[in-house]
């Protein structure tokens, strides 16, 4: 019932991944780079590269996570078209007018921060005082050679930070092109850092239908303060009583200082 368009929503439309070959052929035709970084959702996206001419195969490098790729091969096997993060379609494979696979140009979180649009929400937390939208359970005095003031601290053994909750956004139900921007400063002392800023979207029942890692802090210590700007596109709002939550997931529970957090939600201008 509902034809091919309805079937695409409820069933896999390219089980064997045959559409991966024309996607790869289109990418190597339009991109003359010596190295082309690709992320493939499933194995056929890699296997079909064997059918390309040798000179084109040598240019393709498969990478993970998708944020470091230039192109994303989407086959919609596990996701719907509306579930994808902010990416620009450069080529679709269609059957009877229905999209079964796409080659997407990946837009980096850093680039998304500069997207233009209508501001729907803005909040800044300088961690100098109690903030009504944050829990502020971990505010401390911090002092180093460059900076002396209050900041948010995740101590050793603490896995999750305070969280910002954005609610009462019923007017956003059904909207697309929503981008959450994040700006903050941080420094770390641990040698094995693995932390992620996480955004979730869900209902009043705290059942998120979207979970996104916005920015990843990893590796050796960052003893001096560093400023970061990044952004992420949110999936289409599915409920009127939607809640958006932002928090830091400290996977290895190392020590990190966070300060001057700015959060903005925009509706991107549509071309």
The dihedral through the CA atoms of 28, 31, 32, 33 has a sign that is negative
Give exposure, 51-77, as e/b (b: 16+ Cβ within 10 Å): ebeeebeebbeeeeebbebbbbbbbbb
Higher pLDDT, residue 7 or 75: 75
Q: What is the tens place of the pLDDT at every residue in 102-152?
A: 999 888 888 889 989 999 889 888 877 666 677 655 555 555 544 545 666
Least confident of 58-72, 85-99, 135-149, 187-201: 135-149
CB distance 62 to 39 below 8 Å: yes
Q: Which of 7-11, 84-88, 258-262 has the highest mean pLDDT?
A: 258-262
Q: Could you read off the pLDDT of 133-144 as tens digits, one per residue? A: 776 555 555 555
Instruction: Give pLDDT tens digits for 211-248.
Output: 888 888 888 888 888 999 999 888 766 666 677 888 88
Whether the predicted pLDDT of 25 surpasses 70: yes
Question: The whole model's pTM is what?
Answer: 0.71
Contact 73, 62 (CB under 8 A): no
Task: Judge whether residue 155 has pLDDT over 50.
Answer: yes
What's 170's DSSP letter?
A: G
Mean pLDDT of the chain, nearest integer: 81
The whole-number pLDDT of residue 141 equals: 55
The pLDDT value recorded for residue 81 is 61
Q: Is 161 exposed, middle or buried (0-12, 13-18, 19+ CB in 10 A)?
A: buried
Would you list the DSSP string of 80-126?
A: -GGG--SEEEEEEEEETTEEEEEEEEE--HHHHTT--EEEEEEEEE-
Task: Describe the chain by its helix, strand, coil percentages, rounded to 5.
Answer: 15, 45, 40
Q: Residue 83 above 50 pLDDT? A: yes
What pLDDT shows up at residue 166? 77
What mean pLDDT comes out for the span 250-256? 86
Q: What percent of the chain has pLDDT over 90?
A: 28
């Amino acid at each position: 019932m509902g034809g091919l368009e309805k079937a695409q929503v409820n069933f896999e439309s390219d089980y064997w991944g045959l559409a991966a070959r024309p996607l790869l052929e289109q990418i190597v035709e339009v991109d003359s780079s010596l190295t082309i970084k690709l992320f493939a959702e499933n194995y056929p996206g890699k296997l079909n590269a064997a059918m390309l001419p040798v000179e084109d195969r040598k240019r393709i490098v498969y990478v993970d996570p998708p944020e470091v790729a230039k192109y994303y091969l989407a086959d919609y096997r596990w996701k719907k078209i509306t579930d994808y993060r902010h990416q620009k379609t450069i080529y679709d494979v269609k059957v009877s007018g229905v999209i079964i696979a796409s080659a997407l140009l990946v837009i980096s979180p850093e680039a998304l921060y500069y997207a233009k649009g209508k501001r729907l929400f803005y909040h800044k937390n300088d961690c100098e005082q109690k903030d009504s939208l944050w829990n502020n359970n971990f505010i401390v005095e911090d002092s180093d050679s460059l900076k002396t003031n209050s900041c948010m601290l995740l101590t050793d053994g603490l896995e999750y930070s305070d969280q910002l909750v954005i609610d009462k956004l019923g007017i956003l139900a059904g909207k697309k092109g929503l981008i959450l921007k994040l700006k903050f400063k941080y420094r770390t002392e641990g040698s094995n850092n693995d932390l992620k800023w996480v955004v979730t979207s869900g209902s009043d029942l705290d059942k998120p239908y979207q979970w996104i890692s916005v920015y990843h802090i990893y590796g050796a210590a960052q003893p001096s303060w560093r400023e970061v700007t990044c952004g992420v596109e949110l999936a289409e709002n599915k409920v009127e009583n939607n809640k958006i939550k932002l928090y830091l997931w400290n996977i290895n529970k190392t020590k990190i200082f966070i300060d001057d957090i700015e959060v903005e939600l925009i509706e991107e201008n549509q071309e």
